[in-house]
Copies of this chain bind each other. A is one copy, B any other.
Amino acid sequence: MRQSQMLIPTLKEVPADAESASHQLLLRGGFIRQNAAGIYSYLPLGYKVIKKIETIIREEMDRIGSQELLMPAMQPAELWHESGRWDVYGPELMRLKDRHGRFFAMGATGEELVTSLVRDTLNTYKKLPMSVYQIQTKYRDEKRPRFGLLRGREFIMKDAYTFHATEESLDDAYWKMFNAYKNVFERCGLKFRAVLADSGAMGGKDTHEFQALAEIGEDTIAYSDQSDFAANLEMAPVISRETLASSETLPLEKKSGKVAESDDRLITACWFKTRTDTVLVFLKAVDEVNDVKVKNLLGTDLVEPLERESLLDALHPDDKILIFADQGLKGQKDGVFYNTAEDLTYINIDPERDLHISQFADLRFVKEGDPSPDGNGTIKFAKGIEVGQVFKLGTKYSETMGALFLDEEGKTKPLIMGCYGIGVSRTLSAICEQYHDEKGLIWPKSLAPFDIHLITVNPKNDEQLTLSEKLYSDLSDLGFEVLWDDRRERPGVKFADSELIGCPVQVVVGKKAPESIVEVGARKEQAEGRKEVAVETLSQVVTDLMAELN
């Protein structure tokens, strides 16, 4: 493509409100333009990359037998009432009213719609399992859209849904999808971790998130430095380590005032409220209580912290309070607790003896330096951008919305469902976070808008122009996608734009055109990496260079 004919409005200045590297560089490189808060146009360069991501997704979905369809973005409110989400989804759900006063949701997700679609259709085990997906524009009215495409209000998503007669069949589809997602992100060149995630709120079972590693990520991932183990911070289990019992067991004592003690002996008390109960959790003061683990232990969907700090109720318990402790307190004999209300410090606490704990469990956040739960290595933290999720949804929607089938014995059962998502536009941004330098983007070759940026330094010079035309044609014939900068711009502008745009390989036709010599280099090496190459060897040099790059 001739650059003079392309809409690539590069920017010299860093846009004021663009906080992240991906946001800045996608704007500056002329890949996207903002139309409103969290709402963007994909310009020709940006849309070329989006289409490459979509093609990879389609190929991997086809390979596992998932079928593409396209459901509408306008979803009748009735369906969201059926599932109960119209009221609970909150202001993030974009809603509109048609000319007849009927309400619609602008799809933030497709569970309701797909369930309504199959409920009259997949009515027998003979038609199961079934797997469908769509690549579609989705809407979410984010309170604070940010980081460009990373948290937008209109975005492109691949969502897939599978339907099953048995849990085993769901499990099979789940891992097929898991592997397909791994393939997608690997083929995109993304550095990512598939992490255990929390399924609680969505009422399902197993779930993994695919987290692209990036400093600006909003999620913290706990991973092993020596194995594949990775989990969202709130989901990472902590291995029980025997607390060394102190040599002697002393009776519980109270001292007036706050007594200074070593941090490791200090115990803290966290209070929570569920829909039905009051809950008290003890743990080491050096640890942090993990409310997701509390929630999962209780099997409830809601725990709220209470502003209270006391251990009195644990010393003199009544049935109204559920008392738990983190497993880290098990075996401790010399606990210390300062009770503010009494201005007393309790010492020599043996939680098992003194605190009427109904159960010791893993209730704290993992910490860097903890042993990895799989026994291999040590836990480290990283920041991640969630680019995908696989989820065993179970029967939540099929039950509430009446999507039933007859099993082999003629019994009516709700369909068992899985749901799966990839943030397409978000993946684009995550790639940019990982593939750039201070001058611009550096595309992995699987997603690059063009393979080669052919730069004619001075297109007014006939020899440069003629040679460039020939190379443009030759390289295109070899199957490379070539962006030819044929513009009558200053060389400085051209090179700066080329660094911003970030095609993997640059071929520069300049002063040595009369000698049939051009410069070739990988974008990631910047100008210093470019070498002079005789035109007759160019095809080979470029082919070799492309083969080296990832």
List residues of chain A with CB under 8 Å of any chain B CB: 1, 4-7, 9, 33, 35-36, 39-44, 46-48, 50-51, 65, 67-76, 91-92, 94-96, 98-99, 102, 104, 106, 113, 116-118, 120-122, 126-127, 130, 132, 137, 139, 141, 143, 153-154, 488
In the bound complex, residues from chain B placing their C-beta under 8 Å from that of A91 are: 99
* A6 closest partner in B (C-beta): B67
Q: How far is the CB of A128 from chain B (nearest CB, A)?
A: 10
Docked-complex contact A154 and B94, CB < 8 angstroms: no
Instruction: Give the contacting residue for A68; candidates B5, B44, B488; CB below 8 A.
Output: B44
Instruction: Give the contacting residue for A141; candidates B71, B99, B141; CB below 8 A.
Output: B99
* A155 closest partner in B (C-beta): B72
**Known A-B contacts A7-B130, A121-B7, A130-B5; A70 and B41 likewise in contact (beta carbons under 8 Å):** yes
Docked-complex contact A96 and B99, CB < 8 angstroms: no
Alpha-carbon distance between A127 and B6 when the two chains are bound, in angstroms: 9
A7-B121, A35-B117, A74-B153 are known; give 5 further A-B pairs, CB within 8 A: A5-B65, A7-B67, A7-B118, A41-B117, A44-B68
* A68 closest partner in B (C-beta): B47
* A92 closest partner in B (C-beta): B99
Alpha-carbon distance between A75 and B36 when the two chains are bound, in angstroms: 8
Alpha-carbon distance between A367 and B1 when the two chains are bound, in angstroms: 49
In the bound complex, residues from chain B placing their C-beta under 8 Å from that of A98 are: 94, 141, 153
In the bound complex, residues from chain B placing their C-beta under 8 Å from that of A118 are: 7
**Known A-B contacts A7-B67, A132-B7; A35 and B139 likewise in contact (beta carbons under 8 Å):** no
Docked-complex contact A104 and B488, CB < 8 angstroms: no
Q: How far is the CB of A340 from chain B (nearest CB, A)?
A: 40
Alpha-carbon distance between A501 and B99 when the two chains are bound, in angstroms: 35
How many copies the complex holds: the figure is: 2
Docked-complex contact B113 and A35, CB < 8 angstroms: yes
Docked-complex contact A43 and B69, CB < 8 angstroms: yes
Docked-complex contact A36 and B74, CB < 8 angstroms: yes
**Known A-B contacts A33-B117, A117-B41; A70 and B47 likewise in contact (beta carbons under 8 Å):** yes
In the bound complex, residues from chain B placing their C-beta under 8 Å from that of A4 are: 127
Q: How far is the CB of A51 from chain B (nearest CB, A)?
A: 8
Docked-complex contact B72 and A40, CB < 8 angstroms: yes
* A120 closest partner in B (C-beta): B9
Alpha-carbon distance between A9 and B76 when the two chains are bound, in angstroms: 21
Alpha-carbon distance between A116 and B73 when the two chains are bound, in angstroms: 25
Docked-complex contact B35 and A71, CB < 8 angstroms: yes
Q: How far is the CB of A316 from chain B (nearest CB, A)?
A: 48
Docked-complex contact B35 and A76, CB < 8 angstroms: yes
* A104 closest partner in B (C-beta): B36
Q: How far is the CB of A5 from chain B (nearest CB, A)?
A: 6
Docked-complex contact B72 and A41, CB < 8 angstroms: yes
Docked-complex contact B488 and A35, CB < 8 angstroms: no
Instruction: Give the contacting residue for A96; candidates B9, B70, B72, B94; CB below 8 A.
Output: B94
A-B pairs with beta carbons under 8 Å apart, 6 shown? A36-B72, A41-B117, A73-B73, A94-B96, A98-B141, A137-B137
Instruction: Give the contacting residue for A121; candidates B9, B46, B51; CB below 8 A.
Output: B9
Alpha-carbon distance between A73 and B42 when the two chains are bound, in angstroms: 12
Docked-complex contact B35 and A116, CB < 8 angstroms: yes
In the bound complex, residues from chain B placing their C-beta under 8 Å from that of A36 are: 72, 74, 76, 102, 104
In the bound complex, residues from chain B placing their C-beta under 8 Å from that of A130 are: 5, 7
In the bound complex, residues from chain B placing their C-beta under 8 Å from that of A51 are: 68
Alpha-carbon distance between A374 and B35 when the two chains are bound, in angstroms: 47
Q: How far is the CB of A538 from chain B (nearest CB, A)?
A: 26
In the bound complex, residues from chain B placing their C-beta under 8 Å from that of A73 are: 73, 137, 154
Q: How far is the CB of A139 from chain B (nearest CB, A)?
A: 7
Docked-complex contact A488 and B154, CB < 8 angstroms: no
In the bound complex, residues from chain B placing their C-beta under 8 Å from that of A44 are: 67-69, 132
Alpha-carbon distance between A137 and B135 when the two chains are bound, in angstroms: 12
Q: How far is the CB of A332 from chain B (nearest CB, A)?
A: 49
In the bound complex, residues from chain B placing their C-beta under 8 Å from that of A9 are: 120-121
Alpha-carbon distance between A48 and B120 when the two chains are bound, in angstroms: 22
Docked-complex contact B35 and A50, CB < 8 angstroms: no
Docked-complex contact B39 and A74, CB < 8 angstroms: yes
In the bound complex, residues from chain B placing their C-beta under 8 Å from that of A141 are: 98-99
* A123 closest partner in B (C-beta): B9
In the bound complex, residues from chain B placing their C-beta under 8 Å from that of A122 are: 7
* A488 closest partner in B (C-beta): B126
Alpha-carbon distance between A117 and B5 when the two chains are bound, in angstroms: 16
In the bound complex, residues from chain B placing their C-beta under 8 Å from that of A42 are: 69-71
Docked-complex contact A41 and B121, CB < 8 angstroms: no
Q: How far is the CB of A181 from chain B (nearest CB, A)?
A: 20
Alpha-carbon distance between A76 and B5 when the two chains are bound, in angstroms: 28
- The list of the 8 closest CB pairs from A to B, nearest first, reads A96-B96, A44-B67, A9-B121, A42-B70, A91-B99, A41-B71, A36-B76, A39-B72
Alpha-carbon distance between A99 and B145 when the two chains are bound, in angstroms: 12
In the bound complex, residues from chain B placing their C-beta under 8 Å from that of A117 are: 33, 35, 41
* A113 closest partner in B (C-beta): B35
